């Protein structure tokens, strides 16, 4: 299988490296030449446009920042759909609105191309170690076709269901993480009121039933949300709003999770 990879950021670059190191013929494209420099010691080829990359690929993986970027590299004038052969596959690793995937899948279908969604979670270190969580939405045969590539950087790779279900799963995961940030920060703050050392409290809770990934992130940041606010605030805000919009459109009951997530966003805004 020939693989194209677009989006060589802090998470995408180690994903692409894992594909190259696994022996897949790989073609790369990036807006900035500096993003390609870490691959100078590899056999990966470079393309001058997403269309040229697609023409050399059977599977194109897209790991760019947001919906607008995905739309541009997939459906732009020199985008992936301008070069990918019939029968090719596009995998969207970016976290975007499920409707974006459905809209692009319709356009891809007109070109004889299949698009699936496969957002990831874990960050650059997990990608480099081959242990990203990959949440895939799409037809089962297409997922099987892609799995051997996804497994170079993902463990586990979970097929969630039809197109869009991977994005929904990733968004729900991010909302729960955002909600947990508020409860973890609030618990450490309450401990301070009782003169309990927050570092010691976080260490104890990390080994108890109150442990969570969010608690670990807060403890690593010194017990506050300020570092998380600077690093991930805008992305968390985007994902919470997406889930709120989707829940509103579906008239779905959200329980307490969105309220807790909104509390985190308010705290993050205060930290800024």
| Three-class DSSP category at 205 | helix
Average pLDDT over residues 184-200: 94
What is residue 224's predicted lDDT score, i.e. its pLDDT? 82
- pTM value surpassing 0.85: yes
The 8-class DSSP code of residue 85 comes to: P
Q: Measured between alpha carbons, how far is residue 253 from residues 79, 248, 256 in Å?
A: 39, 9, 9
Contact 17, 11 (CB under 8 A): no
Q: Whole-angstrom Cα distance, residue 105 to residue 120?
A: 19
- Residue-wise pLDDT for 158-173, tens only, equals 999 999 999 999 999 9
In this structure, what token pair is assigned to residue 128? 């480099």
Q: Whole-angstrom Cα distance, residue 3 to residue 53?
A: 9
Contact 1, 148 (CB under 8 A): yes
pLDDT grade for 271, boundaries at 50, 70 and 90: low
CATH architecture observed for domain 2-161? 3-Layer(aba) Sandwich (3.40)
CATH class of the 168-271 domain in this structure = mainly alpha
pLDDT grade for 152, boundaries at 50, 70 and 90: very high
Q: Give Cβ neighbours of residue 200 (< 8 Å, ≥ 6 apart).
A: none
What is residue 228's predicted lDDT score, i.e. its pLDDT? 84
Q: Whole-angstrom Cα distance, residue 58 to residue 251?
A: 39
170 an active-site residue?
A: yes
Active-site residue identified among 148, 170, 238, 251: 170
Domain range annotation of the chain: 2-161, 168-271
| Three-class DSSP category at 92 | strand
Contact 63, 6 (CB under 8 A): yes
The 8-class DSSP code of residue 255 comes to: T
- Residue-wise pLDDT for 210-230, tens only, equals 999 999 999 998 888 888 888
């Amino acid at each position: 299988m020939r693989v194209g990879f677009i989006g060589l950021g802090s998470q995408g670059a180690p994903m692409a490296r894992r594909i190259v190191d696994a022996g897949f013929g790989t073609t790369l494209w990036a807006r900035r030449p500096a993003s390609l420099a870490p691959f100078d010691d590899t056999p990966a080829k470079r393309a001058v446009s997403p269309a040229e990359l697609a023409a050399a690929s059977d599977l194109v993986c897209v790991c760019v920042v947001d919906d607008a970027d995905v739309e541009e590299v997939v459906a732009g004038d020199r985008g992936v759909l301008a070069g990918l052969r019939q029968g090719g596959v596009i995998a969207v690793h970016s976290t975007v609105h499920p409707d974006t995937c459905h809209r692009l899948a319709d356009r891809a279908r007109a070109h004889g191309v299949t698009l699936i969604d496969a957002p990831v979670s874990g960050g650059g270190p997990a990608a480099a170690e081959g242990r990203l969580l990959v949440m895939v939405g799409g037809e089962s045969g297409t997922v099987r076709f892609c799995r051997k590539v996804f497994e170079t950087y993902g463990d586990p790779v979970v097929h969630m269901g039809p197109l869009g279900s991977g994005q929904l799963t990733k968004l729900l995961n991010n909302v729960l993480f955002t909600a947990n940030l508020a409860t973890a920060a609030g618990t450490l703050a309450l401990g301070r009121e009782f003169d309990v050392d927050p570092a010691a409290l976080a260490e104890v809770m990390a080994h108890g039933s109150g442990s969570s990934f969010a608690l670990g992130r807060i403890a690593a940041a010194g017990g506050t949300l300020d570092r998380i606010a600077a690093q991930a605030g805008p992305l968390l805000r985007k994902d919470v709003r997406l889930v709120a919009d989707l829940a509103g459109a579906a008239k779905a009951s959200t329980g307490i999770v969105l309220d807790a997530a909104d509390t985190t966003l308010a705290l993050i805004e205060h930290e800024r």
